[in-house]
Structure 1
Amino acid sequence: MTGSGEITADYYRRRLEEFLAERHPQLTGARELVATRSNRAYAVYRTTLAQGFSPLKATARADAVLYEGLIFSRYDLLRDILATDYPQIPEYQLRPLALQLCDICAPVFGSFNLDDGILQRREYGTLVARLREFLQEYVSQHGLFVRLRGRPRNP
């Protein structure tokens, strides 16, 4: 929003950039995606207002366009599993490790339809269970290369 409270395409751009940085860090440099989505969201917002709908309804429709296909995040899920199942991993290492594991866990993710609705389907529980099993196996074979900050390395 601008200082006067008016919503602009730049407002949607900033919101999407912040969302991607938090939930899809691998997409933070996706300038075309951000530009296209933010312009479309702004157009939907303006059109919905012009049709006589409330700003709340216009915002909801614009958000649907802005975040379509981005609600589920592989990164978020892996980060949550790591934080829960491996509490020895320091907070500052969760992000880079989860990003690295996104590629490593691709075979597990490839077995599921990862659209925006997966969070409401029963298969989401199966996905989480399979990821946990995969990570347990991966950690047992490769270990987690986690070094705590401020601690000396073992010789």
Structure 2
Amino acid sequence: MEKLVNMYLNYEPEDRSLGLPPVGRFAIETWLRYLEQKGFSIVAEHNGNIVGHLAIVEDESNKGVVDLAIYLTRSYQNQGIGTEMVKAIVEYCKRVCYKKISLVTDRLNWRAIRVYKKCGFKTVLAGYELYMELPLKPEASE
């Protein structure tokens, strides 16, 4: 977990959105423990450092729905890493039979919005934040 904490300790302040990722070691460690206990995460690494983190957490009020959050170090954005991470988690969610992936992003976070749309997400509510969803159809048994 230390590599992931380090990624977030060095995360650019202007890249934070909707209060995430949290600031400071204690808050970051607490948040990551929550994600570890309640969700599922994947990371992208380069030269031994974590440069991307995607997490899903099941929506406790909506069975079969997971909420998604993804963070990439600025210097690794616009290289297709985020797109590949989202595609990988979509396939995982299909395999484990989730019904839908939902997310909230800042309406000005055009890089993330482009990735989500490329992966099939649709905007369901727009305001200061965009609420996006991707309904899933489980893969057929082979």
- Give TM-score, length-normalised by structure 1: 0.24
Which structure has greater strand proportion? Answer: 2
Which structure has greater helix proportion? Answer: 1
- Give TM-score, length-normalised by structure 2: 0.25
